[in-house]
C-alpha cells in the first residue's frame, strides 16, 4: 500500500486491558495519541543477530531512524499474528514462522506532532531466505547482536526509534532469550 494511503487505514482502538473499543484512521490515532493495538517483530539470523531496518525518511513519523525488523498494526477484524505475517511481506518481502515473545505498553511523543500510545504484541522469528526491503518503507537494513544494538543505542540514541529503545530498556532479557532460542532453532534445522 503506498505511503500516502496507509495513513487512511483504520486501526483498532483498545482499552488498558487490550479490549477493542472502536477504530480510527492511522493518522488520527498517531496525531491524537489514541491507545491502539500494534505488533513488532524481531527476526533472528542463524548467528543470533537481529535484523534492523532504517525507516524511509518520508515516513510520517520517525523517518530515517533505525527500528526492529518490522512493525505495524492489525487491520480491523484481522488477527494480530496474521497482520504481523502480512506486514513482513509488505515491508521485507519475506515470510517467517513467528512466535509470541512478550507484550509491551508504552506512550511517547514523536516528531511531526505525532504520538505513540500502543499495546504491542512482540513476536520473534527465524530468518528464512533473502530480505527484499520495500523501498517505499525502508532505506537500509543491518544485522546486529542484541549486545551490539544496546551499545549502539547508548552511543547514538537519536538514531533509533522510541520503541526500539524502549524494548531494549524494558525487555532486554526477553530479547536476549528469544534471540538465543531462535539462533538455536536455526542450528537444529
Compute the distance between CA of residue 49 and CA of residue 113 in angstroms, rounded to an integer: 33
Q: Which of 91, 116, 118, 137 is catalytic?
A: 118
Question: C-alpha angle 109/170/67, rounded to 5°?
Answer: 60
Q: Which of 71, 91, 116, 137 is catalytic?
A: 71
Burial class (CB in 10 A: 0-12, 13-18, 19+), 84: buried
Which 3 state secondary structure label does DSSP give 164? helix
Give the orientation angle of helix 162-170 with respect to helix 172-188, to 10 degrees: 90
Other C-beta atoms lying within 10 Å of the C-beta of residue 180:
13
Q: From residue 142, give the alpha-carbon distance in Å to each of 69, 103, 120.
A: 9, 25, 23
User: Is 118 marked active-site?
Assistant: yes
Residues tagged active-site: 71, 118
Amino acid at each position: 500500500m503506498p505511503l500516502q494511503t496507509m495513513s487512511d487505514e483504520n486501526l483498532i482502538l483498545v482499552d488498558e486491558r487490550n479490549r477493542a473499543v472502536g477504530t480510527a484512521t492511522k493518522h488520527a490515532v498517531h496525531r491524537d495519541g489514541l491507545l491502539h493495538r500494534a505488533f513488532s517483530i524481531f527476526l533472528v539470523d542463524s548467528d543470533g543477530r537481529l535484523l534492523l531496518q532504517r525507516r524511509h525518511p518520508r515516513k510520517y513519523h520517525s523517518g530515517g531512524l533505525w527500528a526492529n525488523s518490522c512493525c505495524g498494526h492489525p487491520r480491523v477484524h484481522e488477527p494480530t499474528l496474521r497482520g504481523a505475517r502480512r506486514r513482513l511481506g509488505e515491508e521485507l518481502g519475506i515470510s517467517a514462522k513467528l512466535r509470541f515473545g512478550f507484550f509491551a505498553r508504552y506512550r511517547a511523543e514523536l516528531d511531526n506532532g505525532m504520538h505513540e500510545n500502543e499495546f504491542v504484541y512482540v513476536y520473534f522469528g527465524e530468518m528464512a531466505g533473502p530480505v527484499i526491503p520495500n523501498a517505499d518503507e525502508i532505506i537500509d537494513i543491518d544485522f546486529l547482536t542484541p549486545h551490539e544494538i544496546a551499545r549502539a543505542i547508548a552511543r547514538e540514541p537519536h538514531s533509533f526509534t522510541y520503541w526500539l529503545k524502549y524494548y531494549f530498556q524494558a525487555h532486554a532479557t526477553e530479547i536476549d532469550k528469544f534471540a538465543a532460542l531462535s539462533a538455536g532453532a536455526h542450528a537444529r534445522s
